[in-house]
């Protein structure tokens, strides 16, 4: 019965939307299928950040040091507060924030794009002397829509923030299908996984929302809590032996101050994440988050920027997960 109602709704609403697009897109009220819900994910990352987190709380937009590029016109990314109607959507879409995101977010939609297409860039200030062990972390949400597809690219420039072509290194690409309505999602990418990026580089990070035809595509994309989290860590493979099973060993020394070693074993290649968390579950450091070959590894972790206390480290692969406790005493 629910499916029948939804089909009937779409069959009635879609022609009306197409008609309004053909007359005046700025008066086009887009109606979502589902409610504009705020669904939490992982907690925010408050520690070890050498950039951010930027939560767009200041009314000044873009924030100090940030820039916008709009190569095909339009006003570009903008700021909106919780509960405020997003322009061009009537009361159908309102601003919201992820856990820890404060009262505002930045957003892109068809009304602040070009005349017939979107190409909008929001660019961080220059981030100096990055490490490949640093992680770029942000929250993203595609707000409710029926048939409106959208695209977001996360790119890096090591030269300038004034031309889109300089953003030649790709961190991530999001292709949102038309009927997709996401919750807020927390994303984390280790810079070592970005092909062509080198230790010690000075970078700009660009968030690009784009659609080729904003009369038929282009939803509402939200971003919040953008940060770069530093981790003083080295990952070294020990020998060439392939272990028979997954294993995460107890760190040593333990207790430690401020450095410790964590051994782990991988019987097969794959995506591997080794991260450190505080007592309430906040992720305070990402030691590795990417593809590793099968083998035995040692991670050297330096917690000089953390306060004394109990922490947990967790190894996660597609087939294995293990968590152990460690203590930092200064």
Q: Tell which residue, 292, 57, 45, has the closest CA to residue 187.
A: 45
Integer Cα distance of 164 and 153 in angstroms: 12
Closest CA to 171 of 124, 104, 234, 102: 124
pLDDT at 1 over 80: no
Cα separation, 251 vs 237, in Å, equals: 16
Minimum mean pLDDT range among 84-98, 236-250, 287-301: 287-301
217 close to 152: Cβ distance less than 8 angstroms: no
Q: What is the pLDDT of residue 259?
A: 92
pLDDT exceeding 70 applies to what percent of the chain? 81
CB 313 within 8 A of CB 262: yes
Q: Report pLDDT digits (tens) over 28-58.
A: 333 232 222 222 333 333 333 357 789 999 9
The percent of residues in the chain predicted with pLDDT above 90, rounded, is: 54
Domains defined for the chain, CATH in brackets: 2-229 (2.60.120.200), 232-328 (2.60.40.1930)
Q: What is the mean pLDDT of residues 60-79?
A: 96
Q: What is the pLDDT of residue 43?
A: 33
The per-residue pLDDT for 94 is 93
Interior angle at CA 27, CA 24 and CA 32, nearest 5: 120
Closest CA to 63 of 224, 228, 172, 230: 224
**Terminal alpha carbon distance of the chain:** 63
The per-residue pLDDT for range 142-169, each reduced to its tens digit, is 987 667 899 999 999 999 999 999 999 9
- Could you tell me which residues are beta bridge partners of residue 207? 122, 154
Name which residue leads in pLDDT, 244 or 231.
244
pTM above 0.85, yes or no: no
Query: According to the model, what pLDDT value does residue 288 have?
Result: 82
The answer to whether 317 and 269 have CB atoms below 8 angstroms apart is: no
- 262-to-183, 290, 292, 311 alpha-carbon distances in Å: 34, 17, 16, 13
């Amino acid at each position: 019965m629910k499916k029948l109602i939804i089909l009937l709704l779409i069959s009635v609403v879609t022609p009306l939307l197409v008609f309004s697009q053909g007359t005046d897109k700025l008066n086009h009220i887009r109606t979502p299928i589902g409610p504009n819900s705020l669904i939490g994910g992982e907690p925010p990352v408050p520690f070890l950040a050498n950039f951010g987190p930027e939560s767009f709380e200041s009314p000044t937009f873009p924030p100090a040091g940030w820039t916008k590029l709009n190569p095909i016109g339009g006003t570009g990314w903008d700021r909106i507060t919780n509960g405020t109607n997003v322009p061009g959507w009537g009361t159908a879409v309102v601003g919201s924030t992820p856990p820890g995101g404060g009262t505002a977010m930045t957003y892109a939609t068809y009304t602040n794009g070009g005349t017939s297409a979107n190409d909008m860039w929001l660019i961080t200030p220059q981030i100096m002397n990055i490490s490949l062990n640093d992680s770029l972390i942000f929250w993203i949400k595609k707000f409710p829509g029926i048939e409106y597809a959208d695209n977001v690219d996360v790119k890096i420039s090591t030269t300038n923030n004034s031309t889109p072509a300089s953003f030649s290194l790709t961190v991530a690409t999001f292709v949102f299908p038309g009927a997709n309505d996401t919750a807020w999602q927390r994303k984390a990418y280790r810079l070592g996984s970005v092909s062509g990026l080198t230790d010690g580089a000075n970078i700009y990070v660009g968030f690009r929302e784009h659609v080729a035809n904003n009369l038929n595509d282009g939803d509402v994309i939200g971003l919040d809590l953008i940060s770069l989290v530093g981790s003083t860590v080295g990952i070294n493979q020990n020998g060439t032996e392939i272990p028979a099973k997954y294993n995460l060993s107890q760190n040593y020394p333990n207790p430690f101050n401020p450095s410790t070693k964590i051994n782990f074993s991988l019987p097969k290649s794959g995506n591997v994440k080794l991260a450190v968390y505080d007592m309430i579950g906040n992720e305070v450091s990402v030691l590795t988050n990417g593809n590793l070959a099968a083998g035995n590894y040692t991670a050297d972790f330096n917690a000089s920027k953390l306060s004394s206390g109990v922490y947990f480290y967790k190894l996660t692969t597609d087939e294995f997960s293990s968590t152990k406790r460690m203590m930092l005493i200064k």
